[in-house]
Structure 1
Amino acid sequence: MNNRTDFTEDRLGAELTAGLMALADAPAPAGRMDTAWAVRQGRSRLRRRRLGVTTAVMAVALGASVLATTLPDRTAAPLKAAATPSNPVLPILGPDTGHDPLTVGATFGWLPEGFGGVSYSIGFSGAPTLFSGKAYGPLQTGPNALAMNRQAVFLSVLPPGEGATVGRDILGQQQYRVDARPVNGRPAYWLGRGPHDPAGTGHDYRFRWQTADGGWLELQATYMRAEDGVTDIMPSIAAKVAPGRQAVRLPFKVRDVPTGFTNVGASLQIGTAADGYPWYAGLNYQSGDNYIGLDIRPDVEPTASGLQPLPQTGAPVDPSDDPTSARSCITSRGLRVCAGSAQGEAPFASTGGLAGWLNRLVPLGTDRSDWTTAVTP
C-alpha cells in the first residue's frame, strides 16, 4: 500500500469521526445504558491494544479516535537533543538516529493551561509509516458535554499537495478555506463549514499552516467550542510546533530481536494520556500473522482517574473476554515491563515465549534524562 492510499484511508476515518461527532453534539433521546458493561468493554479494548493487536481491523477502530498521517519524504536538519522538555508532559526529543522506532514528523512545543497529557504513536493503524500526535486537554464543557469526553488536539503532517486542497468531507458536506492570521509569517487557514465560519463540518476545528520548507501541518481539535477560545488556542499551539523528523526518547533499549520479526508499532503516553500512570510506553512486533506487544511503565498504582492495574504473571488478561490471550510481567529499576499477545504464548515458543521477549527489553529507569533515541542496535 502506498503512502497516498494510506493517507486517504486515514483521512476518511478522520472525516467520518467528524461526522459522527456532529451527531453526538445533538440532544440524545432518552435511553438505557448498562454502565458496568460499557466500562468492561472499554477496559477490554484497551487491554487488547496493549497486547499488540495491530491488524487491519484496528485501523478502523483507531481511525475513530486518532488522526494519523504519513511522514512526507522531506529532509529536515537534525535537532539537538534537549536536556529537559519545556513542559513536563512533553517528551524529550533528539535527532533522527535511525535507531528509534518512535521517530515522528512533527512535535508539540507548547500547550495551553489545562492540557496535561501528550501521546505519540507510530504504526498502530496497521501501517508502519503512519504517526499520530495528540495533546490531551480538560474535560469537555457545554450543555451536551459527557463526563468521559476530554478536549484533544491532534497533530498531523499533510502529504505533498494536500495543504491547499479544500473539497467535501466524507459525508458530502462542502468545506471552505477560511483564511487566518499567518503563523510564523507563513499562510494559515481554517477548514471551515462556511465561507466565513472556521468551525469544521463535524463541529470540530481544523487548522492548517505552511512550514518553512513548503509543507503543510494540521491541527484538529475535538470537543472544543468557540467559547473555549479554540480559535485563539490552535494558532498559538501551531506557532510552537516543530516540524521535521524528530526522535522521541524512550525508556528502554531493545536487543536480540529474533530473525523474521519486524517492529510495527511504537508509542509513548505522558500525563493524562497514560491511563492514570505518569507515563506509558510500548512496542509491537509482527512475524507473519503473529503479533506480540511489549510495554513499560513506572511500577506504581494508577491514580483514581486511571484504569485498574492490568493482571500480572502469565495468566490471560481476561478469560471472559479472550481465553487465548496471555501476558507476563517483571519489575526492574522501578519499572513494570510486560509482554503479551492476544494469540497466547504458543506462537512464540521458538523465541523463548513471553519470558524470552521480556529479556529483550532493557529498562533505563524512571529518570527521563537517562532515556535514549538509540533504542535498537
Structure 2
Amino acid sequence: MNDLDLVRTMRVDAPIPSQRRLDTGREQLLAAIDSPSVAPRAAGAGRRFGGVWGLLLAGGVAAVTAAGVAMATRTGGSPVTLHNLTPAAEWAKYADPLVERAAFGWLPDGMRANGYVADSQDEKYFQVTARTGKAKGGKSVTLTAYERGTEPPLGYLPGGVPAKRIPAMPINGHRAYWIFKPDPSGQSSFELRWQYAPNRWADLEGDQIPGDSAELTRTAYKIAESATFGGSRPIALPLHVGGVPGGLQPDRTVLNNGAYGQVSVIIGYFAEPSSELGIGIVESDLRNNTKPRPNTRLRGYPAYQTPRLMYVYGVNGFDVQLSASGSILAELNRTGGLAGLFNRMTILGVDEANWTTNPVN
C-alpha cells in the first residue's frame, strides 16, 4: 500500500486519528481507517503516514513565546517561527509545496502519473503514483525518491516480518536489491530499491501488475531504468488560499489527480509542540451521507463549523475541510479564524487549465 491508497480515504468526514493511534504502528493504522494492505511490502520507519490530518504530526517538542512571536524548534529540524498577522495581514511568500522531484519515464499501457506526495517529516521523500481504476483493486506503480542521506530502513513486511535485502541486478549501473521480489507463484506485487546517485535512494513498488515472475521483473526494470530524478517542475493544484501565517513550511502535501476516479488535495503544516493546520479539498460526492450535518452557511455554502474544525460543501465541485490548533490557530483567530481562512480561499475546479503552481498566499 502506498500513500495514495491512504489518501483515497480522505473524505470530508474522515476522523482525525489520535497520537496514540499513530504510535500503534502502520498495520493497526490501516485497520483503523478500514483500508487493508493489498500487497505484502515493507513499511519504512518514519514514512507513509496516512492522508488524514492527524498523520501530519511528528515528534519532538521545544517552544517559547516572546513579544507575540511563537518560536518552535523541531527535534532534528530547523526552527519554525510563526509571524503574527497584522490587521492588514502579513502575506508570507510560499514556494510551490509540490515539486516534481521524481518522474516516470515508461509505464505499462493505460497507466499515467495521477498521484503525488511531498513529505518533509522525519524521513523526507517525494512520491509519484500511477494507478488505474476507481476501486482499490486497480493496478498501481509507485516511485519514491528519498532526500539525500543514508540508506532508508528496510522496515517490516505485513505480519511484522523483518524485510531483508534480496539480491537484484544493477539499475543503470547502480546498486539495487529487492525488498519484495516477484515469485513464480503468480503474485502480482514487487518492491525494488536502488541507489540512483551517491547518498540518494529510490523505491519502486508495483501492485496488481499482470504477468509471471519474469514478466514482472522486466516491467519493474523498464520502469526503474526510465525514471528520472532531481526535477524542479512545480505541480499545479486546484486551490488557492491566502493568509496562512508566515514562517510555516508544509510538512506534507498530497495531490490525488484522478486515482480512484477522484481529485483531492491535502496541505498540512505543523509547529511544535502540538500546533497544526490542515487544508484539504475533495470532489463532492452526493452519495456520501456520513458528512457532519451543516450548522451554518459560509459565503452562501452549507457548512459545519467548530472553532478548530470546519467543513464547507459544494464549493465549485469540491468539499473543503480545514482544521487548526495551538499557536497556528491563535494566529488565524486574529484574522477571523478558520472562517476567515476559508473566505480567503479560491477553489479552482477540476479543469487543470485553471490550476495554480502558487496555491498558498
**TM-score tier after normalising by the smaller chain length:** 0.5 to 0.7
1:133 equivalent among 128, 133, 139: 128
2:40 aligns with: none
Are the equivalent residues in 1 in contact too, given 2:154–2:179 (CA < 8 A)?
A: no
Q: Which secondary structure does the structure 2 equivalent of 1:179 belong to?
A: coil
C-alpha displacement at 1:101, in angstroms? 1.0
Which of 247, 260, 268 is equivalent to 1:284?
268
CA 239–44 in structure 1, closer or farther in 2 if over 3 Å, else same: closer
Change (3 A) 1:54 1:114: farther
Give the drift of 1:219: 0.3
Q: Select 2:165's aligned residue among 165, 171, 175.
A: 175
Shift of 1:55: 5.7
| Alignment check: 8 A CA contact 1:258 1:351 kept | no
Aligned partners of 1:265 and 1:177: how far apart in 2? 33
Contact 1:100 1:375 in 2 (8 A): yes
Change (3 A) 1:178 1:128: closer
| 1:33 aligned residue | none
Question: What do residues 210-261 of structure 1 show as CA deviations (whole Å, max 9, x unaligned)?
Answer: 5477844220224557538422322232244231143211122332213575
Task: State the AA in 2 paired with 1:179.
Answer: M
Q: From the superposition, tell whether residues 54 and 251 of structure 1 become closer, same or farther in structure 2 (CA, over 3 Å).
A: farther
Distance (whole Å) between structure 2 residues aligned to residue 179 and residue 267 of structure 1 = 32
Equivalent in the alignment of 1:255: 242
Give the helix-richer structure, 1 or 2: 1
| 1:177-227: CA deviation from partner (whole Å, max 9, x where unpaired) | 2215x54xx44644167xxx6559x99422244547784422022455753
- What is the DSSP-based 3-state SS (H/G/I as helix, E as strand, rest coil) of the residue aligned with 2:212? helix
Letter in 1 for 2:128: G
Shift of 1:106: 1.0
Instruction: Give 1:265's aligned residue.
Output: 252
Quick one: structure 1 residues 230 and 281, their matched pair in 2 at CA, closer, same or farther if it must change by over 3 Å?
Answer: same
Asked if 2 retains the 8 angstrom alpha-carbon contact of 1:179 and 1:189, the reply is: yes
Q: Say if 2:328 is the partner of 1:338.
A: no
**2:257 is aligned with what amino acid?**
I
Percent identity, aligned pairs only? 22
Q: For this pair of structures, how many residues does the alignment match?
A: 281
Residue aligning to 1:156: 144
> 1:75-94 residue pairs with structure 2 within 5 A?
none
Cα-to-partner distance string for 1:146-165 (whole Å, 9 max, x where unaligned): x85444322112444539x9
Contact 1:52 1:341 in 2 (8 A): no
Question: Per residue, is there more strand in 1 or in 2?
Answer: 2
Q: Which runs of 5+ in 1 are unaligned?
A: 1-12, 15-41, 70-96, 140-146, 316-322
Query: 2:7 and 2:352 mapped to 1: Cα distance?
Result: 28
Q: What are the equivalent positions in structure 2 for 1:1-377 lying under 5 Å apart? A: 46-47=10-11, 58=22, 60-61=25-26, 68=47, 99-115=95-111, 118-123=114-119, 126-127=121-122, 129-137=124-132, 148-158=136-146, 159-160=148-149, 162=151, 171-172=161-162, 174-179=164-169, 182-183=171-172, 186-187=173-174, 189-191=176-178, 199=183, 204-209=189-194, 211=196, 215-224=200-209, 226-227=211-212, 229-246=215-232, 247-259=234-246, 262-273=249-260, 276-277=261-262, 279-288=263-272, 289-298=274-283, 301=285, 310-311=291-292, 313=294, 326-329=309-312, 331-332=314-315, 334-341=316-323, 349-377=333-361
- Which residue identity lines up with residue 217 of structure 2 in the other structure? T
CA contact (8 A) 2:13 2:290 kept: no
- Residue aligning to 2:86: none
- Please say if residues 192 and 198 of structure 1, whose CA atoms lie closer than 8 Å, have aligned partners that are also in contact: no
Which runs of no fewer than 5 residues in structure 2 stay unpaired?
Answer: 31-36, 38-42, 49-92, 297-305
Q: How big is the shift at 1:268?
A: 0.4
